[in-house]
Structure 1
Amino acid sequence: MQDSPPAETDEQRANASDADGDPDRTAVVVARDADQQPDTTEIERLAATAGYEVVDALTQRREEDGQYNLGRGKAEALARRVVETGADAVVFDGELSPGQYSSLTALLPDGTVVVDRHRLVLGIFESGAGDEAARLQVELARLRYELPRIRETEERTHMQRAAETGSRVVDTERRIRTVENKLDELADRAGERRAERREQGFDLVAVAGYTNAGKSTLLHRLADDLSIEGISPEHDDLDGEAAVEDRLFETLDTTTRRATIGGRRVLLTDTVGLVDGIPHDLVASFSATLDAVADSDAALLIADASDSLSAMREKLRVSLGELDDPRGELLIVLNKVDLLDDAAVERRRRAAESVAGDRATAVLAVSATEGTGIDRLRETVAGTLPTEEVRFDLPNTGETQSFLAWAHEHGRADAEYEGDRVRVRFAGRPAVVDRARSRAASIRAD
């Protein structure tokens, strides 16, 4: 019998139905920080992405209150603002415990939906999940998020009816194992697909970074065109349309496009944008997406250079903390430099080098919208890709011409004709060069 997702509590049903937002819904955003005055810019953008119109923002600098997250006085002020603005929801820039959620729900006007940052982001992820892997990753993240809350709820209410009704904790744990197994199977297939593409002569370059840094725009700039001709039809992740919008988490699915870089056939994969404030174990739920970075021949970590210096440093720190090192080289790409002067770009370059340390091979400055620095980026990527070169002296026969056609498809090939001989220079991935040696050795003179 198939496992089914566990039933939801009232809290989870309310959050699940409203975290994705609605074009007609309004929200007050709330941010608290113990060390500094909170900045609500990102949580407001997240709320807007989820479909809320933000009508007010409330902040507090203080230690966390166990009952309301905010202090009692500030929580009461929040309730008054909800009444004054007529807001449908309150969106917290942080994680709320089940107890805090219950206390806030009791304090706020009836019907006010309370959503914390983690649940909001999960809702956005869910709306952007298109393929099976993305949907399973979102479900796994949601289950891992809900499990400790379910466990706390059962312990707090002393639910002792497991023999009659079953335990929601056990049901959730069982479903987590089922989803993990399904994702493992998908990850194995994805790994086999990447290996197959390398055998076909493609280099794999992943594009990663903090959300809204311009990854999809850069993908459009580097890709040859919208065509995916020549790729096996079963590889449905090779999508001809990579959305370019000023929107967080435009899609959770990876988008792969063809490119020619330094004469090499490259597959560029745009991965989901990263974001701060999500527990590492939840980020780990998206490993099937992030594996594209770890298994890449080169990875581009995109940062928004138009952010303030401190914000850019923090976003780079978050991104580096969530990404495994690629099997190839890591390049940091400072995007949107058209919005800065040279001195500001240089300050950000030094800051990026400081944050990345020896993890990054180079830091490059580009403007994906205007094309500034793209040629240098291409040259740098080409220089990091695995390459081996070999030379052949072959007879000028039909077999050699077939070999040359294959070589042009799988790497860089140059041919010089001298009488009845053809001198070939071939460069490409080491595994492809080995195949070229085998093919050349089988060519016979007429």
Structure 2
Amino acid sequence: MQYQARENMISETYTIPQLDMGQIRSDFPILDQIVNGKPLVYFDNAATTQKPRQVIEALAGYYERTNANIHRGIHHLAEKATAEFEASRRRIQNFINARLPEEVIFTYGTTDGINLVAQSYGRTFLQEGDEIIISTMEHHSNIVPWQMLCEEKGCVLRIIPINDAGELLMDEYEKMLSEKTKFVSVVHVSNALGTINPVAEIIKKAHEVGAKVLIDGAQATSHIDIDVQALDCDFYAFSLHKLYGPTGMGVLYGKEAILNAMPPYRGGGEMIKEVTFEKTTYNELPYKFEAGTPNIADVVAAKTAINYVENLGKEAIADYEHHLLRYATEALSSIEGLKIVGTAKEKVSVISFLMDGIHHQDIGVLLDQQGIAIRTGHHCTQPLMHRFGIPGTSRASFAVYNTTEEIDHLVAGLLKVKKMLG
């Protein structure tokens, strides 16, 4: 009853967004199951979101009715598969407001996209002594490729610090910028803290000194409207599996002129125009960066995931998830000895926390026994954990199909954990 009272208290000062939660939850078949004798509560959405029935059916339907290799065949199935594949490219172009479909490169995920830029653009245009700026809150996928490049090319990696709330110190960032700055690569939304970074300002300041900018959008696309032209970023990378879509499929957006100037990242079929033993000429955009047979089925199903999100409405989803964040923040803060790590003013629906005297892994194990799935550990952000002086956190991350009732289950589960181990 106390949690219902909290709901009523919040609703007095905050209009709870209205979505048809019964219909939404019925769209996700994986949610309708029992784990360890309890109804599944899935709060690991920052790792991967679950897939609606529509996406699952689109994936199965491709293999049942369309399966063929693309861009090469002239038979019916090949042409049908090619049309569906390229329709997804145009759908994603519209979703992020890219200027051209050719600026949408299909990758195997955010990590693959960042590596493509580091290995192609970085190797070609960066030189010894050039400076690359990233931030303290980066995922390892946006740290390691740049470290590898710096070791190879003799570049210098610089790090934007953060405050105790988990927000970038923008004054320090501006001090770092100079004529030596050639590249900036920062996360749009922190996977560990939920912080929304001021990427438009970061991009503007970097461009003033002539630097190019990549935005890691892995955690942003399911929560925030993305307009790459308005942001004016040079590159934007994200994965579809965090956007209710298939795994193993991602997108790298790049400005046409920059992509045209970059050499191919991989060699093989599809990315070539003509091959002889003496010389190979490369294909045009976007194909010169898409060597080999791509992940066709998942690309085809990706547009169904985007359609699902846009049919619900990005604004309605964002409002609802903000409601979940507010509710969960208050509910978790009421637990004595629980500390939230990451209290930025601008956040998405991610909460990392610590509990006095209880290891985060033990929390995850005991919650799983109650059917509650969270993430524990350093979340592939070890330098960020070092900044806070901790080995890791417990993380609950919410999606459009989650409910306040599930948050109540989380609170009750944590109280049980505290009683057992606290």
Same fold per superposition (TM over 0.5): no
Larger RCO, structure (CA 8 Å, separation 6 or more): 2
Specify the structure having the higher radius of gyration (Cα).
Answer: 1
Report TM bin, short chain: under 0.3
TM-score of the pair, normalised by structure 1: 0.26
